[in-house]
Chains A and B, each alone.
Chain A
Amino acid sequence: EDQVTQSPEALRLQEGESSSLNCSYTVSGLRGLFWYRQDPGKGPEFLFTLYSAGEEKEKERLKATLTKKESFLHITAPKPEDSATYLCAAVNFNKFYFGSGTKLNVKP
């Protein structure tokens, strides 16, 4: 069964405390792994796409990496404005399989 699992469900960090979010996937015919940020009451905002194992993408304090079984979203020296729910999705053909997200809370 194609599915995506994210961990942890929730993560509380102090400002400046680096950490990683995990996205494990079992999706046949993977064509891409996507990371989104979602603020409360809003639609997800696209962050990164990764297409092959070993690929890395960076944007400000975020770096996404991909292996054949999982993806990590590394957050370096987070700030309170990084607080949000982070979703990952694996896509094959026309279908996106979303994880349930990691809710990140960064305290000042």
Chain B
Amino acid sequence: SQTIHQWPATLVQPVGSPLSLECTVEGTSNPNLYWYRQAAGRGLQLLFYSVGIGQISSEVPQNLSASRPQDRQFILSSKKLLLSDSGFYLCASQTLSSYNEQFFGPGTRLTVL
């Protein structure tokens, strides 16, 4: 089965600082990868998804970006954080051989002050 790693687990950053969140996947190859943001008490907002190396689809216009430098690595970045970027960031992996289930990582709690 798949295992999704995310780090860091928690992060407190000042407004205007850069951001880099990393997600790596074990136990599968050529997965679809996803970044979600979850505000407190809310559902998951899809930010980016990727069907392969270097292929990124953006769902929400914002100051965040994503990259996929390797098959099982997905990075979420920002050059300058905003207060509104605070939230719980989740990486997810989907492999067609697993009948489309999406498996989630443990998440990163980001607080922008």
Contact = CB atoms under 8 A, between A and B. Distances in A.
A89 B41 CA distance: 16
A95 B102 contact: no
A100 interface: yes
Interface residues of B, number: 26
A96 B101 contact: no
Contacts of A100: 42-43
A103 B106 CA distance: 19
Interface in B91-109: 92, 94, 99-107, 109
Contact of A41 (B42, B99, B109): B109
Contacts of A94: 32, 49, 51, 57, 94
A105 B16 CA distance: 39
A34 B101 contact: yes
Residue from A31, A96, A99, A100 whose CB has the most chain B CB atoms within 10 Å: A96
A87 B106 contact: no
B57 to A, nearest CB: 8
A87 to B, nearest CB: 7
Interface string B54-70: 00010000000000000
B106 A96 contact: no
B11 interface: no
Given A46-B103, A87-B43, A100-B43, A95 B109 contact: no
Contacts of B88: 41
A108 interface: no
A49 B41 CA distance: 23
Contact of B106 (A43, A46, A98): A43
Interface of A: 6, 31-32, 34, 36, 41-46, 49, 87, 89, 91, 94-96, 98-101, 103
6 contacts: A36-B104, A46-B102, A87-B43, A91-B102, A95-B46, A98-B43
